Structure 1
Amino acid sequence: MGNGTSIGRVRGLGAAKAGTHHWWHQRLTAGSNLLLLLWFLFSIARLPAYDLASVTGWLGSAWAAVPMLLLVGSVFYHARLGLQVVIEDYQHDETRVVFLLLLNLVTALGAGLAIFSILRIAFTGTPA
């Protein structure tokens, strides 16, 4: 049969002992991305105008800012998980660690900037 012990096969643990956890997070963020993107598209479509005042007024509401923060967090986490798999599958030398560190840095920086921008609009009403 192979692939580890019988208890390991029952628990669904692979060689890295974290494959199932990673796979579930990827699927959960994909589902949340779908729902939050549908919310975003319907919310944008319902705006009376697409000028700066309308969009910042809309994003100034907690009913818009909180789901937008969730969307940003979910999208960046999902992207990090997917790109991590690509790096782990296709990069096999010592630069693998460097690429994983760069991936974490870029996704954290991008998510941080987006979250800061949303919070600034939500709390002050002015874009950065």
Structure 2
Amino acid sequence: MITSTPVYSQANGQAESSYKIIINNLKKKLGRKKGKLAEELPYVLWADRTTPKNATGQTPFSSVFGAEAVIPTEMVYPTARTSIRDPQTNNENLVQDLDTVEELRDQASFRMAAYQQNMAGE
């Protein structure tokens, strides 16, 4: 079993690091409103999953799904990205993104290795 890679995040501290970020963001968001945890948690998780990480240069969402997430607000108040969306073209783009997702993951892996070397050298 591989225990020193992102596949096994419990062994390399990535899970704890992610939890720490989520907990700190929840504390900032909630302030004195601690009883609103259930209401605020989805927003904090969404923000974490759609924020590019320094180590990979990609969002966790794009690393998993191979495409950038569209935030709910963009569906209510269209942006340039969502207003020119054509369902047929969108489906073709998603298929194309699936073809290149492994390449994006490899790039993220190389960036993460370089980031780790840089951090170890500091």
Higher Rg of the two aligned structures:
1
Structure with greater proportional helix content = 1
In the superposition, the TM-score normalised over structure 1's length comes to 0.29
| Structure ranking higher on relative contact order (CA contacts 8 Å, 6+ apart) | 1
In the superposition, the TM-score normalised over structure 2's length comes to 0.30
